[in-house]
Structure 1
Amino acid sequence: MTDPQVALSMLGIFIVLVFLGFPIAFTLMAMGIMFGYYAFYDEGRMWRAFNRLGEDAGLWEQWSLWVQGFFNNRIFDLFVNQTFTVMSNEVLTAIPLFLFMGYIVERANIVDRLFTTLNIAAKGLPGSMGIAALITCALFATATGIVGAVVTLMGLLALPAMLKARYNTSFAAGIICAGGTLGILIPPSIMLIVYAASSGVSIVRLYAAALYPSLVLVGLYLAYIIGRSIIQPSFAPKPTKEEVPDMPVGQLLWMLATSLFPLAFLILAVLGSILFGLATPTEAASIGALGGIILAIAYRAMTFERLRESVYLTVRTTAMVCWLFVGSYTFSSVFSYLGGEHLISEFVMSFNLTPFQFLIMAQLIIFLLGWPLEWSEIIIIFVPIFLPLLPLFGIDPLFFGILVALNLQTSFLTPPMAMSAYYLKGIAPPEVQLTHIFKGVLPYLGMVFIAMAMMYQFPQIVFSLPEAIYGR
């Protein structure tokens, strides 16, 4: 077999092992080291250690030199260097800080106050409780960036309230599932940090580029909720005074000031300091983590147990991401050294695709990968395969990254592998069936495709803000 064929075998074996359920990070590392040993094998280098053996060498000395000879392969140097590169990456340093901010906010009892306040404030609008749930999901998802946490918490809080208010089961479930995934796209998104580290694109420009598409997607969701509530009032009945009481304006403003504004101010302060160059993402994330602690203390929700849980979950999630990067860097380095990357480039170019056709093909593959894989695995492992092809088609990696972030919403919303639906089903009342949830998320899947089509048709939605702030 030629080296490129070995590289393709390496990729094929990896995909098979992933579908068999092996841990992805350690499978990447194992495959990278195994095939890397073959790729960097140097018989002369391996046996050089044995030449130092004398005739009177003892058994222990022979064993020691054999071990030295076996490990005298550049793949082990590469593995150590890649591990050091990941651990010293300044962009990735922001991940644990943003995660810690999210876990602290999650445990600060802010969400229930926020949902109650927005529900009262939106009382006069069609589908008011659905609007309140979606905006709460968007703000909470922005603060945490953790899909499972948002869907689970909002499922416990908002779903029973909407069902009690006689909302259609599928309609209510779809709002929570779709809103919970918005943290993937809305800055300060952890997914965009991971993409920046994988692609070398400026994280600051990515955040600026993602802002308008985020607003477009949220706007489409809100338009659907309001429109569906007007067309089919039985799906979202108007609340009675017993369900949502009338509130004096002064009292409502006070509720907004104590529930909505603190969280909104924290998010805007973190995002604004990044976008306007007042702080690096890591520095802004540090301030966000501190702000989360202050909010938890202010709401009298900070306990040692909650702090310990937040630290533990932060460390666990960060370790998973970092080991994925170590494995991916090692795997991709060996794959590229064997010529696999060049072979894929030649194969794709042989189809004579236009840039638009290439984008469609790439997004379709990412859409399909979203069924069995998490977004982190897609971004770290498979997106780098497409990145070297972007210059060949004249595609800006910034634009590509925003499209991927939009596309990955679908990985949580597409039946039968819609993970947000399973998160919600795990905590939903028994009468809420999985088929109800699947039926509810399908319209939002269509909204994502509409948003992606708008990005294709009007790319300035992506480019206008970063160009206005930072220039071309």
Structure 2
Amino acid sequence: MLIELLPLLMFLAICVVLMLGYPVAFSLAGVAMIFAGIGISIGHFDPTFLSALPNRLFGTISNTTLIAVPLFVLMGVLLEKSQLAEELLGNMAALFGRRRGGLGISVVLVGMLLAASTGIVGATVVTMGLMSLPSMLKRGYDPSLATGTICATGTLGQIIPPSIALVLLGDTLSSAYQQAQLNMGVFSPKTLSVGDLFVGALVPGLLLVLLYMLYVGGVAIVRPQLAPPASDLEPPPLKDLAKGFLPPVLLIVTVLGSILLGAATPTEAAGVGALGAALLAAARGRLSLSRLAEVSQETMKVTCMVFMILIGAAVFSLVFRGFGGDELIHHFFDSMPGGVVMATALVMLVIFLLGFILDFIEITFVVVPIVGPILLAMGVDPIWLGIMIALNLQTSFLTPPFGFALFYLRGVAPASVSTAQIYRGVAPFIALQLLMLLMLAMWPGLATWLPGLLR
């Protein structure tokens, strides 16, 4: 019985090791190899199964889709360093700030544009925290409402394309889709691409932005003392507004439009976006050699981290399958009452709970390769499943104790703002994200309608 439970023990072991704070990539590969050694010693793991590892690792490194990751990171870091967000936030705050809740709504709108132009949660939260939090507190905003709005808006980079999370999730689900077809003995030319997820995420992402704005506006109406108007702000001249607003919007339209129209793959569009961000930074005189070196180093750090985790996850999933873990979970899902609905609900619950203790990259590369092929083989639409998982993973940035958006904001928030106020502030936004998840579960067409239309 213990031998049959080795896959589950392996999964529990990796969760414990990650919670202890060890590096993710080396934890995944290390735990997998330790369990492989145990399995070989007791005769329950075929060592020839590891012969597939070199080809799998080479396939990961040479995957052209994943070239989009460093390019989108480069694009985001360039836009952050060029201070486009600072100009945009200043103009938006002046435009809406004289209304109750106007500053909060401005933060949501600017955060949406930053999410669509950078896709990096940490950069968005830190930038918004440095620029908007002192202004909101100075004008009488409730600290919980201000910090919650900034943290939640920063996580929009998870769901609004071009998102690095969607790139990684799309590649992982594409492999899971192929594995599901192989398990069913079906050989279909139909595939799942990152572009499909980008298109599918547009409507749910914009609806989530609308929910955030309605919440902030509703609080301003019901409890106006929590979000007072900023009467000292004057609407900016049209020229200044256009100067701050048009460049990032044109870049977003160029990147997303080329993908939506089928003129470019996500990888090609990422290259266009990185070049466009460099040109915008140069046009403002903010692309010196020292800054370019800083941007390149930051891009290299993030890229190396992602690819090392990819390699570790490839080793982990291979050993997990070698123990028959996928068959064990498939049998569990098949025997579960409620069929595919209950199986999907259970997976979403597990991902949500894991978000309290694990990062979205860890969940994407550990959980999705295990459950993805099984759910897809049960008939779940791959685009809908990808957007559901992306929305669910978005909550992992806000759920304590390891919500990274909370850490990012805590690092730049003034000492007068307590950690408890930050935690209280994000609670309503977590509820809104779960509401969006429920809406998507009830109306799958929110994610599948636009991709079907464009096809």
Common fold by TM > 0.5: yes
Partners of 2:97 and 2:106 within 8 A in 1: no
Q: Tell me, what secondary structure is at the counterpart of 2:326?
A: helix
Aligned to 1:363: 348
What is the CA deviation profile of residues 436-464 of structure 1, one whole-angstrom value per residue up to 9, with x for unaligned ones? 11111111111111111111111111111
Aligned to 2:189: none
> 2:323 is matched with which residue: 332, 338, 345?
338
Within a 5 Å distance, the mapping from 1:22-421 to structure 2 comes to 22-36=22-36, 74=48, 77-123=51-97, 125-200=99-174, 201-240=192-231, 243-247=232-236, 251=237, 253-421=238-406
**In 1, Cα distance between equivalents of 2:59 and 2:194:** 18
AA aligned opposite 2:17: L
Q: Tell me, what secondary structure is at the counterpart of 2:160?
A: coil
Deviation at 1:233, TM superposition (A): 1.1
Moved more, 14-23 or 461-470: 14-23
Q: Structure 2: where are the runs of 5+ without partners?
A: 175-191
Aligned to 1:6: 6
Partners of 1:10 and 1:31 within 8 A in 2: yes
Moved more, 172-181 or 379-388: 379-388
Partners of 1:36 and 1:75 within 8 A in 2: no
Deviation at 1:348, TM superposition (A): 2.6
AA aligned opposite 1:197: D
Deviation at 1:414, TM superposition (A): 2.0
Aligned to 2:450: 465
Deviation at 1:38, TM superposition (A): 6.3
**In 2, Cα distance between equivalents of 1:18 and 1:87:** 24
What is the CA deviation profile of residues 11-40 of structure 1, one whole-angstrom value per residue up to 9, with x for unaligned ones? 333233222222221122223334445667
Aligned to 2:188: none
Partners of 1:39 and 1:337 within 8 A in 2: no
Partners of 1:33 and 1:76 within 8 A in 2: no
AA aligned opposite 2:73: L
**In 1, Cα distance between equivalents of 2:30 and 2:427:** 38
Moved more, 87-96 or 120-129: 120-129
Aligned to 1:67: none
Larger gyration radius, structure 1 or structure 2: 1
AA aligned opposite 2:33: I
What is the CA deviation profile of residues 356-407 of structure 1, one whole-angstrom value per residue up to 9, with x for unaligned ones? 3222211111011111111111111111111122135321121111011111
Using a 3 Å threshold, how does the CA distance of structure 1 residues 77 and 355 change in structure 2: closer, same or farther?
Answer: closer
**In 2, Cα distance between equivalents of 1:225 and 1:282:** 36
**In 1, Cα distance between equivalents of 2:67 and 2:339:** 38
AA aligned opposite 1:232: R
Deviation at 1:77, TM superposition (A): 4.0
Deviation at 1:244, TM superposition (A): 0.4
Partners of 2:129 and 2:412 within 8 A in 1: yes
Q: Tell me, what secondary structure is at the counterpart of 2:336?
A: coil
Q: Tell me, what secondary structure is at the counterpart of 1:172?
A: helix
**In 2, Cα distance between equivalents of 1:264 and 1:128:** 21
Aligned to 2:181: none
Partners of 2:343 and 2:375 within 8 A in 1: no
Partners of 2:28 and 2:313 within 8 A in 1: yes
Q: Tell me, what secondary structure is at the counterpart of 1:91?
A: helix
Aligned-CA RMSD value:
2.1
What is the CA deviation profile of residues 323-381 of structure 1, one whole-angstrom value per residue up to 9, with x for unaligned ones? 11111112111211221110121123222233332222111110111111111111111
Partners of 1:78 and 1:330 within 8 A in 2: no
AA aligned opposite 1:162: M
Give the aligned length: 436
**What is the percent sequence identity of the aligned residues?**
38
Q: Structure 1: where are the runs of 5+ without partners?
A: 44-72
**In 2, Cα distance between equivalents of 1:162 and 1:183:** 22
TM-score (norm 2): 0.91
Aligned to 1:18: 18
What is the CA deviation profile of residues 70-112 of structure 1, one whole-angstrom value per residue up to 9, with x for unaligned ones? xxx6466433222211110011011000000001101001111
**In 2, Cα distance between equivalents of 1:366 and 1:335:** 18
Using a 3 Å threshold, how does the CA distance of structure 1 residues 382 and 239 change in structure 2: closer, same or farther?
Answer: same
Using a 3 Å threshold, how does the CA distance of structure 1 residues 4 and 81 change in structure 2: closer, same or farther?
Answer: farther
TM-score (norm 1): 0.88
**In 1, Cα distance between equivalents of 2:267 and 2:255:** 10
**In 1, Cα distance between equivalents of 2:50 and 2:382:** 31
Partners of 2:329 and 2:371 within 8 A in 1: no
Aligned to 2:186: none
